[in-house]
Amino acid sequence: MHNTAISLIELGAVFFGLGILGRLAWKIGVSPIPLYLLGGLAFGAGGLVPLEGIEPFTELSGEIGVVLLLLLLGLEYSAAELVTGLRRSWLAGVLDIVLNAAPGAAVAFLLGWGPVGALAMAGVTYISSSGIIAKVLGDLGRLGNRETPVVLSILVFEDLAMALYLPILTAVLAGTTLLGGLTAVGVSLIVITVVLVVALKFGRYVSMVVDSPEPEVFLLRLLGAALLVAGLASQLQVSAAVGSFLLGIAISGSTAENATKLLEPLRDLFAAVFFVVFGLNTDPRSIPPVLGYAIALAVITTITKLATGWFAAQRQGIARMGRARAGAALVARGEFSIVIAGLAVAAGAVDGQLAALATAYVLLMAILGPVAARVVEPAARAMQRLATRGSAPASP
């Protein structure tokens, strides 16, 4: 069939192009996410070369991408790690929410997007990209550093906050009243507690349902379970993302580790499609009007994440340079900001410009994050030199 041939060629060209972009991104030391978004922008409506005929595939693949992104986020930390993380870093975690959600919400109100838009934008600016951060820390050889557990425990806390936030966002996007919103909060708190208890006490059984020594069977069961749970959650108006996320938390131990290894390449593939689709659905012409806001948000939320990391590291008795490193490491935003914006835009309950603002913001932050993590040490040293110059001769 002629149409199939064209679609295959288009799809092949898209994947191949993404492969080149991804290689380029890691080579210059930034995350490939912004480049995927740019790729999507270039090919979508109003872009350079509109692509047609592959939407049926890309739309569903993008959805699967979100399910897999959240499933692996859930798999990343065991229930025990989540509970310890909550106990140890709740104060820094709360500060993280207050400092980093507020700028997004404020800009949304400023642009007249109302409380629903504010809730979505608060999530976009709050959530750090655990994917980018883990990769950057590994690349820079900082996993042995003393501040690294501090950074990781903040990410764990954000993980838990997402479990609470996503159901609320979904409920609010579906247009529920204040009472409905509160019910959603109550229900999601109960569900998370139940899932955590189940994962802690009976994690083996959940793992047993999907586990298999055959990689093929294991993969099919995992993917099947994830899509089933996601679909059912979606039917119950809880959002597919939340369902797969909670499934990820419930799967534990060695099953979780094997699942992560098996699903990572699939996640990378479908997530790339998701970012492209998000870019495709965003009209590039809608970005310039909100670019100023995006830059302002980028500057402010870089400072607020720096402050969060500084505060958290200071509480653990880490010296100034380590505090600065912890703050800079947390700056990167990426996949989950786009997931949140995607949920909001798909529900149609927010201003269409939110997608443009989120795209521009993530473009900036996904590039700025790794760069900040790299330049923080020389920058901090230069500032120290400036501060000591004049008052005392520089120490050898």
Partner 1 sequence: MVNVEVTPLPGIGTRQDFVSRSGRRIGVVTYRDGHFDLIVSKHDDPDSCVASIPLTTDESGALANLLGGPQLVAKLQEQNRDVPGVDTRQLPLAQDSPYDGRTLGDTALRTRTAVSVVAVVRAGTVHPSPRPDFTLGGGDLLITVGTSEGLAQAADVLDNG
Report how many residues bind partner 1 under the rule CB under 8 A. Answer: 27
Out of 43, 77, 165, 245, name the contact with partner 1 by CB under 8 A: 77
Out of 4, 5, 87, 144, name the contact with partner 1 by CB under 8 A: 144
> Least distance (Å) from partner 1 to the CB of residue 143?
5
> Least distance (Å) from partner 1 to the CB of residue 215?
15
Out of 92, 136, 142, 302, name the contact with partner 1 by CB under 8 A: 142
- By C-alpha distance, which of 72, 66, 362 is closest to 239? 66
Stretch that binds partner 1, among 215-223, 284-292, 294-302, 314-322 (CB under 8 A): 314-322
Q: Is 85 in the site for partner 1 (CB under 8 A)?
A: yes
The answer to whether residues 373 and 305 touch, using CB atoms and an 8 Å cutoff, is no
93: phi > 0 → left, psi -120 to 50 → alpha, else beta; which? Answer: alpha
- By C-alpha distance, which of 180, 147, 143, 185 is closest to 163? 185
- By C-alpha distance, which of 22, 3, 2, 30 is closest to 374? 30
Nearer to partner 1, 325 or 333 (CB): 325
Q: Is 265 in the site for partner 1 (CB under 8 A)?
A: no
Q: 3-state DSSP helix/strand/coil percent for the chain, to nearest 5? A: 80, 0, 20
Out of 81, 97, 174, 315, name the contact with partner 1 by CB under 8 A: 81
For residue 161, give every residue at least 6 positions away whose Cβ sits within 8 Å of its Cβ, in sequence order, or none: 93, 97, 126, 127
Stretch that binds partner 1, among 53-61, 136-144, 188-196, 286-294 (CB under 8 A): 136-144
- Which DSSP category does 237 fall into? T
d(CA 35, CA 254): 34
Q: Is 149 in the site for partner 1 (CB under 8 A)?
A: yes
Q: Is 156 in the site for partner 1 (CB under 8 A)?
A: yes
Out of 301, 325, 328, 350, name the contact with partner 1 by CB under 8 A: 325
Radius of gyration of the chain (CA): 21
Other C-beta atoms within 10 Å of 378: how many?
A: 9
Q: Is 84 in the site for partner 1 (CB under 8 A)?
A: yes
Rule CB under 8 A: which residues touch partner 1?
A: 76-77, 81, 84-85, 130, 134, 141-149, 152-153, 155-156, 257, 261, 318-319, 321-322, 325
